[in-house]
Amino acid sequence: MPLMTTTQMLLDAQKNGYAVGAFNVENMEMVMAVMEAAEELHSPVIMQTTPSTVNYAGLDYFLANVRTAAERASVPIAMHLDHGNSFELAMQALRAGYTSIMIDGSHESFEENIRLTKSVADACAPSGVPVEAELGKVGGKEDDLDGGAGGYTEPSEALEFADKTGITSLAVAIGTAHGVYKGEPKLDLLRLSEIRKVVSVPLVLHGTSGVPDETVTECVSRGICKVNYATDLRIAFTSGVTSVLKEKPNTIDPKKYNAAGKEMVKEYVKSKIKVVKSEGKA
User: What pLDDT is recorded for position 150?
Assistant: 55
Of the candidates 172, 155, 168, the residue with the CA atom closest to the CA atom of residue 13: 168
* In a domain? residue 146: yes
* In a domain? residue 281: no
* In a domain? residue 255: no
User: Amino acid identity of 25?
Assistant: V
Dihedral of alpha carbons 233, 239, 242, 247, sign? negative
Please determine, for residue 139, whether its predicted confidence score (pLDDT) is greater than 90: no
Residues 6 or more apart whose Cβ sits within 8 Å of residue 189:
174, 218, 219, 222
Overall average pLDDT of the 104-130 stretch? 97
Predicted TM-score of the model (pTM) = 0.92
The rounded mean pLDDT for the chain is 93
* In a domain? residue 77: yes
Quickly state the pLDDT bin for 148 (edges 50, 70, 90): very low
* In a domain? residue 112: yes
Q: Is 253 a catalytic residue?
A: no
* In a domain? residue 249: no
Q: Which of 12, 60, 82, 104 is catalytic?
A: 82
**pLDDT per residue as tens digits for the range 46-66:** 999 999 999 999 999 999 999
Is the Cβ–Cβ distance between 3 and 97 less than 8 Å?
yes
Please determine, for residue 182, whether its predicted confidence score (pLDDT) is greater than 60: no
* In a domain? residue 123: yes
Domain range for 76:
7-234
User: What pLDDT is recorded for position 186?
Assistant: 85
**pLDDT per residue as tens digits for the range 238-258:** 999 999 999 999 999 999 999
Query: How far apart (Å, rounded) are the C-alpha atoms in residues 166 and 183?
Result: 36
Query: What CATH number has the domain bearing residue 168?
Result: 3.20.20.70
Query: How far apart (Å, rounded) are the C-alpha atoms in residues 45 and 233?
Result: 14
Please determine, for residue 178, whether its predicted confidence score (pLDDT) is greater than 90: no
Domain count, the chain: 1
Greater pLDDT, 146 or 118: 118
* In a domain? residue 113: yes
- DSSP 3-state assignment of 234? helix
What are phi and psi for residue 92, nearest 5 degrees?
Answer: -65, -40
